[in-house]
A and B are shown apart, each in its own frame.
Chain A
Amino acid sequence: MSGHDWPLWEVFVRAKGGLSHRHVGSVHAPDPELALRHARDTYTRRLEGVSLWVVRSIDIVASDPEQAGEMFEPAEDKIYRHPTFYDIPDVVKHI
Chain B
Amino acid sequence: MATRSKIDADLVKRGRTTPIVGGQEPALFDYCQRLGDDALILGQRLSEWCGHAPALEVDLSLANIALDLIGQGTHFLGLAGDADKLAFHRDVLDWKNCWLVEQPNGDFGQTIARQFLFSTWQHLLYQHLTNSAHEGLAAIAAKGAKEVSYHRELAADWTIRLGDGTEESARRMADGLDWCWRFVPELFEVDDVLEGLIADGIAADPRQFEDQYNSTIAEVLAEARLAAPANQRPILGGRRGHHGEHLGHLLAVMQFLPRTYPDAEW
A: residues with CB less than 8 A from B are: 1-3, 6, 27-31, 33-34, 37-38, 41-42, 45
Contact = CB atoms under 8 A, between A and B. Distances in A.
A2 B169 CA distance: 12
Contacts of A3: 54-58
Interface of B: 54-58, 60-61, 64, 108, 154, 157, 161, 165, 169
Given A6-B55, A27-B57, A34 B157 contact: yes
Tell me what chain A mostly uses at the interface: helix, strand, loop, or mixed: mixed
Nearest to B169: A1
B171 to A, nearest CB: 13
Given A34-B157, A37-B154, A45 B57 contact: no
A2 B54 contact: yes
A33 B223 CA distance: 15
Nearest to A6: B55
A31 B55 CA distance: 14
A6 B165 CA distance: 14
Contact of B61 (A28, A33, A38): A38
Contacts of B60: 38, 41-42, 45
A29 B58 CA distance: 9
Given A1-B108, A3-B58, A38-B60, 20 more contacts: A1-B54, A1-B55, A1-B165, A1-B169, A2-B54, A2-B55, A3-B54, A27-B57, A28-B56, A28-B57, A29-B57, A34-B161, A37-B154, A38-B57, A38-B58, A38-B61, A41-B61, A41-B64, A45-B60, A45-B64
